[in-house]
Homo-oligomer: A and B are copies of this chain.
């Protein structure tokens, strides 16, 4: 029998994933050339469906990479000559910051304890920052970055580019793309696909910046540069051979999500999140790691456990339900439960029931 994956990603596959995969094989999409009309149609379809789902305006292009990790690197290489600024409150926002340092930039960070969010009004970002890097949903700690805070950041720093890592939250977040210059995610989280594809959304201001850095003679990398993306995007092509099958399936899943309506998806996530966070009242060896409600992630809930988290994880595993352990310092004393569209309210109820049986 199959297990249900409530893991923070890779995770439970989207219910129709396998059907789309099978169709892709029937249509021989694993064999088609990425400079063919067949591929260009796939790219265009996925682009249109993502655009509708995430409300991405015409000012922004949609590119494909292999992972969000790759996009961290390309983002810094193509948009930063000298200075980037990082909101760090967990392992992934920390890695984004580390990437900038590794790429020899003057990276500046504001850091808060894990489990906390940022009080945006108390933070002053230097004027000369070229790129402000935020993580809308810190997958390691279950802390979200309220989308309204992006407005404050952009208002106070109109000359900086603002980017946000949507890895474990797209398509839940309602991003205002007139404020957010660039965002990105990978498909093995809320889109319920196996890993191997990242999506990078980039506006004209970013393209201009990248062009400016190239003209200045800066080393912006060679593979998947913004200029090579942009050039190929004109005909819905990619700089090199991409993960064609995954691009096709992402488009089909986005299409289904659009048919259902993104509001419905958000409502379902909200309903499951409510259940999940309220289970704390019943299971008395659990406490919510993120204290402040406004920072509690709807899609990745993290719980401190007063008994060994491994014991809980193993118990659930026997019942064919998989949850993630904590990350970093929280490894053995936390569990993380993903609340993505791939799992139903029914699934979530079963999980909570089983957790309450552990006592």
Query: A245 touches which one: B5, B31, B66, B194 (CB < 8 A)?
Result: B194
A243 and B12 contacting across the interface, CB-CB below 8 Å: no
B-contact 0/1 string along A33-47, CB 8 Å cutoff: 110000000000000
B324 and A33 contacting across the interface, CB-CB below 8 Å: yes
With the chains together, A324 CA to B34 CA distance in Å?
12
With the chains together, A193 CA to B243 CA distance in Å?
11
A243 and B195 contacting across the interface, CB-CB below 8 Å: yes
Known: A72-B222, A196-B196. 8 other contacts (CB 8 A): A10-B241, A29-B194, A33-B324, A67-B241, A69-B223, A73-B222, A98-B222, A103-B222
Q: Looking at the complex, which of A17-25, A145-153, A156-164, A172-180 is the stretch in contact with chain B?
A: A17-25
B33 and A10 contacting across the interface, CB-CB below 8 Å: yes
| A246: nearest chain-B partner, CB-CB | B196
B195 and A34 contacting across the interface, CB-CB below 8 Å: yes
Query: A219 touches which one: B66, B103, B245, B322 (CB < 8 A)?
Result: B103
B-contact 0/1 string along A167-200, CB 8 Å cutoff: 0000000000000000000101000011111000
A136 lies within 8 A of chain B by Cβ: no
A3 lies within 8 A of chain B by Cβ: yes
With the chains together, A129 CA to B65 CA distance in Å?
32
CB distance from A54 to the nearest CB of B (A): 21
B324 and A31 contacting across the interface, CB-CB below 8 Å: no
A30 and B13 contacting across the interface, CB-CB below 8 Å: yes
Chain A contacts with B in 220-259, Cβ cutoff 8 A: 220-225, 239-246
A124 lies within 8 A of chain B by Cβ: no
The 7 tightest CB contacts between A and B, nearest first, are A30-B194, A66-B66, A196-B243, A69-B240, A99-B222, A73-B223, A102-B222
Query: A21 touches which one: B10, B21, B99, B240 (CB < 8 A)?
Result: B21
A128 lies within 8 A of chain B by Cβ: no
Residues in chain A within 8 A of chain B (CB atoms):
2-3, 5, 7, 9-13, 17-18, 21, 25, 28-34, 65-67, 69-70, 72-73, 76, 98-100, 102-104, 186, 188, 193-197, 219-225, 239-246, 322, 324
Q: Which residues of B contact A17 (CB under 8 A)?
A: 30
13 A-B residue pairs with Cβ-Cβ distance under 8 Å, sorted by A, are A2-B28, A11-B31, A12-B31, A18-B25, A33-B324, A66-B70, A73-B222, A102-B220, A102-B222, A104-B219, A188-B241, A196-B245, A196-B246
CB distance from A326 to the nearest CB of B (A): 13
CB distance from A338 to the nearest CB of B (A): 11
With the chains together, A72 CA to B223 CA distance in Å?
8
| A65: nearest chain-B partner, CB-CB | B66
| A322: nearest chain-B partner, CB-CB | B31
| A24: nearest chain-B partner, CB-CB | B194
CB distance from A166 to the nearest CB of B (A): 16
With the chains together, A71 CA to B193 CA distance in Å?
24
Interface centre among A33, A69, A220, A225 (most CB of B within 10 A): A33
